[in-house]
Every structure is written in structure tokens, then in C-alpha cells.
A and B are shown apart, each in its own frame.
Chain A
Amino acid sequence: MGVKAEPWQKAEIAGPKKALLILKPEVVVAMVKRAKRPILIVGHLAAEDYSGDVKMIDYAIRMSKTTGIPVVATAHTISEFIKRDFHSVACMHAMDIGNRLVDPEWKGLDRKGPYDLALFMGLPYYMEFVILAGLKSFATNLKTISLDRFYDPHATWSFPNLSVQDWNKSFEIILSKLGGK
């Protein structure tokens, strides 16, 4: 596993406050377990990116089934969840979910209160980069985690740049420690 806090797109320099590196998958497990109101946001690349049979979206589904984390699918990604017979998913425009999360009065999808942890995966790198930047500055009570295999400096926590294999391994550990396969 690489340990450099270096943005995947090298010119995407963030600023003084950079994401902490997830050097052990257990960090994600602890963050999710500690969170009272987590939410998982999944972009369209979750169903496209990475070679092999297992896609990010499959991990998202397993994570939600394991932990009960509500899922927001951005753009047309909901169609991919439905193809996989996973229906506990809300459909929102990526900018809308970002905009809701900066509003401390937003009560969430279930109207039970604001979220305290947002996990992101599968958005185009640069789009996730700027949305996370917005959340960093304007959603100060929210922690964010980038679950993609690229370092995203605007998150609170992010994986470093990882190979597909290392990323897969990390996710398997996360899912196993969150309580199931």
C-alpha cells in the first residue's frame, strides 16, 4: 500500500487542510461504527470503473446491507442498483446532495436529523474533489470519507492512491469487520 498523500490528479492541490490517510481499513470501520447518522453517496463510475467482476457498486450494496447505511445514487446510477435487485436507494443529483449536506437544518432522507458522516465513491474524481471541498468549508459538522482508490485531499479521510488489488483487499476487510460478507 502506498502512503503518499498525493492527489491522484496531480495538479489538484487542495490547501492547508488535507485529508488524513486511511492507512488501515479499520479506520473506516471505526468511523462508520462511531457515526450516528452516516450516509453513502455513490456515483456512476461505481458501476463502470475497475476491471474484474466486482465493481464498487457491489461493495456499496454489501456495505449498506451490512450496516444499514442509507444510499444515495447520483445521476443514473440508481438503474445499476436496480439491476442488482437493490432497491433501498435514493436517487439524487450530486450537486443536490452536496447542497443538502451543507444545510445544518436539513433533516435527511428519513427526516430524522442531519448526517454526521458522508462516504463517497464513484463520482468523477474532479467532481468529487470540488463537492468535498464545499463540504469541508461549509458543512463543518460533517465528516467525509472518500472510498475511491484515489487520494482525495478535500475529504476528512481518504485512501491513498491504491492498486485495484489493494483497494479490493481493504474493502473486504472493511466489510468483514463491519459485520458480514
Chain B
Amino acid sequence: MTRKGVNLKIKELKTNVALIKDLELAIGRVIEEKWDEPMGPTPFPGITTLREWDMKLLQRYKPFYLPFCDVCCLCTFGKCDLTGDKRGACGLNMAAQQSRIVLLACCIGAATHTAHARHLVEHLIEKCGGNSPIDVGGLNVDVEAPVTRLVCGIKPETLRDLEDGLDWCESEVTHLLSATHTGQEGSNVDFESKVLHAGMVDQVGMEIADMAQISAYGFPKGDPEAPLTEIGWGIADVTKPVILVIGHNVPSAVGIIDYLKEKGMYNTVEVVGICCTAIDMTRYSSSMAKIVGPISWQLRFIRSGLPDLIVVDEQCIRADSLVEAQKIKAPVIAASPKNCLGLENRTESPAKEIISDLVEGKVPGVLILDPEKVGEVAVETVMAVAPKRNKFKVIPEIEEIIKAAQECTQCNECMRACPNNMPIPQAMKAAAKGDLNPLAEILESCVGCARCDSACPNDFPLHSFMVKAGEKSLIQEKFKIRVGRGAIQDVEIREVGGPIVLGEIPGIVALVGCANYPHGGKEVAEIAEEFAKRRYIVVATGCAAMSIAMVKDEEGKTLYEKYSGRFEAGGIINVGSCVSNPHIAGAAIKIASIFAKRKLRANYEEIADYVLNRVGAVGLAWGAMSQKAASIASGFWRLGVPVIVGPHGSKYRRMLLGRKDREEDWYVYDARTGDKVYAGPTPEHLFTAAETKEEAMVLIAKFCMRPNDTTRGRAIKLTHYIDLHKRLYGVVPDDIHLFVRNKADIPITMKNEILKILEEKGWKETRIPDPTLLPRLIRERKGE
């Protein structure tokens, strides 16, 4: 797709019929169509275009609402008590209100990614030109934008082409958000449909963001051998000035690296990062940038005094980052209009003046909305500030901790504020006697929120106490992570498409999302290795991709060093940051389009139907926290990919649950005959929260089953499900009979045991359909 602007100006034109003066005609664009695939049924879909598909999903996966509180306080009628069958002053009931809140969350998430993408695209067009080509994988990736092609029906070739997708995203988010206004949508089910739409919009926004940065910044282009780089609290060479970048939007970090390169200061400054900016700057330069850790590492790293200057861009940054930076006398540069932190906008000031003000401490920080200027100011400031700071920290000495612990009244306020109910009072009791180990143990599971600090009536900096207690292990925290590789290559899809659809590769497990873990990040690594060993394909993004790296085996190797980075059975693949998630959705879409030759262009419903019924992919967001995580998940739901969240994800206010005990919910059409065939609860749920990692593992194995599995594939998937259930639950699952369609599905090594169960359950053989939920895909109708 290429576009040309046309401007026609006529000063004066005399003809036989008219005299025309000062005519000006401007045509914004002329699309020159080069893509020969015919347009599908739903290009640039509106908020109701895919409503019928949503209703099919929601008929099977009904919402189970989990209100966080009983009231609505969104307008001045309120607060309104919605408990039970009450309705608010506007007429809304509890179910609709919960869906409305979910929609609000997903709109926030989709808007955040779309705005991120808009900023990146505008910045990169300014930097590289609008005609700069989209290239996410060279010759290895022909379907460069599977989500955008599928949803919008466009094939972007240049940075400027991406703006069409963004225009659509922005329009849709506005419509969706407007539906949450008082007196608009009144049906919970229609709110849910809009949630699914928001998720799909979000996927497009994210894909555009990552395509733009991969293409313009030269990130790895679908490279399974992307280099390994360093991650961990202990990776920074603190003998040098240290710049810490936090956030998700990478241009300011790129500005810093470019300035260092330009000035030949390659080895003089350490550039480290937290959260997705860190991931993306290592995609830009794995040799000049390092990753400290996930979102929850912010306070522990800042308070340790290691950063000499902090640059924050956008998303998932602690709102008190400026306050914390001031405590360690580190200046802050805010680099995003979305996160100005109350700082003066110095974008237009000469760099030397800004540097001088920061170095002399005249201001605690500045707002600079120019990534190149951020680079210069950050580097020059940190060089001057670092010697003055001398790594000033606010981590107390052991004696101070013991003294405070002896003064602790054991009021429990810290524990009651802790999201994970950690036994901080008991740890303080031990600390009073000089034993700091319990505090160090708590740090291992700590999400870094510091609500304990805020709650303490004595104002003890309890999080800092934990950091001091765990200091020795923090210093040892040095791991290897494979740099985010970006897209999955078309050739990889051709190789694994068949085995996935037939069930012989038991599934794709996507470990995504934030770091609001119930017991620390080690559980994510444990889950990743469990499924890699079982020859699933494990893909990861964002904080989850980091957590996977932060465990070593007895030989000192991390999972990224032990397992392949190829999209293949047994691979553990870091695709990148939050905005790289559409590469995972894209892989599922490409299986339908490249392997199965389904039409892709603006053909969402058919492809989602294909994915739901045939591609055994499951998402796990074990530490899902944010509104972005909610919208990312909803984008997967509409595409037919179930998502499991950790226990804290129950606070997203509703699940989408199937009922395996209702046989009537699990019929699909056999596309060969038009018959309705019982396909079993595959996948059983579209969205649910697991209570423990053991449960998450069992659910992952179970949710990978699909109606299309061959008998060999189903036997393999059942083997993993039953094996994990027996190992982790101590018993054989009680629902095996729902997943066995004929005796050939039964794993050979478990045959006698399972046959006995089937007999007890009164099991009857069913046939394996060519499954679809869409009557229009039936090739031959019975009786016709």
C-alpha cells in the first residue's frame, strides 16, 4: 500500500461556462493498491461489526462477576448501591456495572498502547521519513503485520501507512469509551462485546508500535539467535555513572545510547533499565544497555542509590519516582507528555542551561519532550552528578534496622497493607534479635509496592529494611536474557503449523504480563521450564520474559541459555516488550493463513474461529496487574485464545467461564457435513484466575486441547494433562471422559486406567469434527 497526497491550486480559470478564481483542492491521499488478496468481509470494523462472533463466544463463556465493591461512584447520582438485584439511579445493575468497569480498564489499556504507537510513529516519521519501509523480518517474514492485515484489511509498507491503522484505533477507542458514559450501554453482554473489541484494537495498536520500532531502530527481525544480554539488580558497573531508564517507550533511551556512540563515550556510562523500555533498549543495543529487572525492581534499585540519574518515559512508572529520586539526590528527566511529574518543560531550553540547573541542584528534574535532547542532557548531567552523589543511598545500616525492629509494636498494619499478606511483623520480631533472614526472604516474594512503608505508624521504611537484608543476594543477581527477537518467521510457522493444529506439538504457552506475582517471579521460570521440557512452545514478553531469565540451574545457566530461541517444540522465546504481544497473536493468525491457507485480509471472524477450534495456544499472565494487561488479554479472547491470570487477576472483576457440565454448550458444526457434533469443553474457559502455580500448570495443559486435535495429538495432550494432574494434585482428573472422543485418544501408557474411568462415567464415543462455530463455513449441508 502506498499513498500520495494531491494538491491542486487554480488561481484563475476561464471556460465557456464559468470563471473560477482561487480554487484550491486538496486530496489527502490516493491509495495505490498493490496487495492482490481480495478484501475480506470486515475491514476497519466498527464497534458492532463483530458482535455476532462475540455473542457466540459469550454464549459459551459466560461472565462470572466478582465485584470489587458494591457501589458505583462514576456520576453525581451516586454513590449507588448495586448489591443483589438493585439498580443504580441511572438504571444500571451490578452485572452491567462490572462489565462497564472491565471496558473502562480495556479502553485505558488500548488507549495507552495506541498513544504509545502514535508517539513512536510520529517520532520515527520525523526522524526517518514517512516512506521509510516496514521491515520486521526481511525475506523471512512475508506476513509482516498479521493482526493489522486481519483486522483492518491493510498491508502497511511504510511508516506513514501505519497511520491508517492508528487513525482507526483512536476512533474505536473513543467510541468504546463513550459507551461507558452514564445513560449509554445498558447490557452487560454488550459491554462484554465492546471489551472484546477494545482488546482487538489494542492488538493493532501494539503491533503498529512494535513494527515501527523494529523497522526504524533496527531491532532483531524475527531472529531466533538474537543475542544474550545481561539482566539483574547486580549487573550495573557501579564504578561508572549510571543512568536508569524506566518505562515502555524507548526513544529517549535510544537518544542516550546514540549520544554515547556519537561522543565515543561507549564505556564511560552505564545505561540500565527497568520494565519494557529496558527490554526495548537492549533490542536496540545489547552491548550498551542492560536490564535491571521487572517493574517491581524500581524501589529496590533506586533506594540503593545506584542510579545517578533517572529518565522516565511512560507506563508502569511509580508515580513517586521523583520523590524517591530526590531522596538519593538523583536528578530526574521526564520524557513523555503523559508523565510530566509536575516538572518544568525545558524542551526549548539550551541543553547547557538544563544540564547546569540539574547538576547544581537548582531543580529536582526537568521535562524534556525531545528524545535527542534527553540523550545529551542525561549523559552530560550524569557525568557531572555522579562524582558529587557518590552513590548516596537511603538503605539503612543493619544497626538501624535492629533498633527499629526493637521499637516495632507488632501492630500488623504492614502485613494488612501487603498485597501478599507477607509476615512482616514476624520478620521484624526476628530482626529485633539480629536475624535479618526473614526480611530477606520476604524480599524474594515482594512486589515492590511499598504499601508497608505507607502503612507503618512509625514511618519505618520497611521495604528498605528488606533491601538491606537481601543485599547480598541482590548483588549476586546477574543473569542472561535473550534479547527480544520480534516476529515469528513464516518458515517457522510452516514447520510447526501442522504439528500444532494436529495436536502433536501439545501447545503454545504464552507467558506475558506484569510482575504482581503471589510468590515472586521464580514461579514463572518454573512454569516456563516445565512446559519447555514437555515440548510445548513457550513464548514470553515483558516482565514475564524477564522473570524467566532470573533463575539459574546448578550449572549457573538460565533458561534462555538452556533452551532454543526458535519457535519450535521445546523453545523458550522472548519476543520482546509489552507491545510485542501481537507477535504471539500473529503466530496463531499466521498458522491459519500460512499453514492452512485461510484468507487473512479483514477476515477476523473466520480466523478467530480457526484459532479457537484448532490452535492450542494459552496465555498465562501470572502477575497481571495493569489495565494494559486487561486489554492484552481481551485481544486474545476475541481471537479464541484462552488466558489464565494469577490469583491477583481475580481482581479484574469478572471471568469468562465455560460450563463443562452443560453438554449443550460444547457442540460445534462439522464443516464437512453441517452436523452438530459434541466437541467437549475445549478450551474449557476463556478467562480465569488460577489460585496456585500448580493449578496454573494443570489448567494450561488442559486449555491447550482443541476440537480439531487428531487422536495422536489428543493422546499427547491428555498425557500431559493427566500426568501434571497426578503429580500436582495427587489424583487422576475427574473429567477425562469429556476429552476422550474415541479410544484412540487414550494415551497408550494409561489405557487400562482410563478405560476403567470411562466405563464408570458411562462414556460414549463421539466423532472428530472439522470444527467451526460459523454456519457459513459448512461446505455441504445435510440433505442438500
Cβ–Cβ contact B691 & A99, under 8 A = no
Q: How many residues of A contact B (CB 8 A)?
A: 42
CB contact between B691 and one of A127, A130, A138 (< 8 Å): that residue: A127
Assess whether A181 is interfacial by the CB under 8 Å rule. no
Q: Which residues of B contact A74 (CB under 8 A)?
A: 691, 695
Judging by beta carbons under 8 Å apart, are B421 and A17 in contact? no
Is A174's beta carbon under 8 Å from chain B? Answer: no
Cβ–Cβ contact A43 & B691, under 8 A: yes
Q: Does B359 contact A (CB under 8 A)?
A: no
A130 close to B67 (CB less than 8 A): yes
Q: Does B778 contact A (CB under 8 A)?
A: no
On whether the beta carbons of A16 and B71 are closer than 8 Å, the reply is yes
Cβ of A76 within 8 Å of any chain B Cβ, yes or no, is: yes
Q: Is the CB of B647 within 8 A of A130?
A: no
Whether A127 contacts B650 by the Cβ 8 Å rule is: yes
The answer to whether B688 touches A93, judged by C-beta atoms less than 8 angstroms apart, is yes
Most-contacted residue by chain A among B66, B655, B689 (CB, 10 A): B66
A-B contact number at CB 8 A: 132
Cα-based distance from A137 to B659 in the complex (angstroms): 20
**Chain B window 79-90, contacts with chain A (Cβ cutoff 8 Å), 1 for yes, 0 for no:** 001111100000
In the bound complex, CA of A127 to CA of B518 (Å): 12
Query: Who on chain A is nearest to B413 by CB?
Result: A10
Instruction: Check A137–B695 contact: CB distance below 8 A.
Output: no
Q: Which of A27-35, A58-66, A78-86, A112-120 contacts B (4 or more CB under 8 A)?
A: A78-86
- A94 & B691 in contact (Cβ 8 Å cutoff): yes
- With most chain A CB atoms within 10 A of its CB, the pick from B85, B455, B692, B694 is B692
Q: Are B651 and A126 in contact (CB under 8 A)?
A: yes
Cα of A115 to Cα of B645 in the assembled complex, Å: 28
Measured CB to CB, the closest approach of chain A to B520, in angstroms, equals 15
Say whether B648 faces chain A, with CB atoms less than 8 Å apart: yes
Q: How far is the CB of B447 from chain A (nearest CB, A)?
A: 13
Tally of B interface residues using CB under 8 Å: 48
Q: Say whether B69 faces chain A, with CB atoms less than 8 Å apart.
A: yes
8 Å CB interface, A7-39 against B? 8-11, 13-17
Q: Is the CB of B69 within 8 A of A15?
A: yes
Q: How far is the CB of B530 from chain A (nearest CB, A)?
A: 14
Beyond A91-B729, A95-B688, whether A9 also contacts B416 by CB under 8 A is: yes
Q: Are B83 and A130 within 8 A (Cβ)?
A: no
A68 to B712, CA, bound (A): 43
Interface residue ranges of A63-115 to B (CB < 8 Å): 74-76, 78-79, 82-83, 90-91, 93-96, 98-100, 102, 106
Q: Which of B95, B688, B689, B731 contacts A79 (CB 8 A)?
A: B731
CB distance from A88 to the nearest CB of B (A): 13
Is A124 in contact with chain B by the CB < 8 A criterion? yes
Q: Are A130 and B64 in contact (CB under 8 A)?
A: no
Mask for A150-175, Cβ within 8 A of B = 1, else 0? 00000000000000000000000000
Having A126-B650, A127-B650, one finds 16 other A-B pairs with CB under 8 Å, namely A8-B421, A17-B84, A74-B691, A75-B695, A78-B730, A94-B689, A95-B64, A95-B689, A98-B66, A124-B518, A124-B647, A124-B691, A130-B651, A131-B66, A137-B82, A138-B95
| Top 5 A-B residue pairs of the complex, sorted by shortest distance between their CB atoms | A15-B70, A79-B730, A130-B66, A76-B694, A75-B691
13 A-B pairs whose Cβ atoms sit less than 8 Å apart in the complex: A11-B417, A75-B690, A76-B729, A93-B688, A99-B655, A123-B691, A124-B647, A127-B691, A130-B651, A131-B66, A133-B68, A133-B70, A136-B83
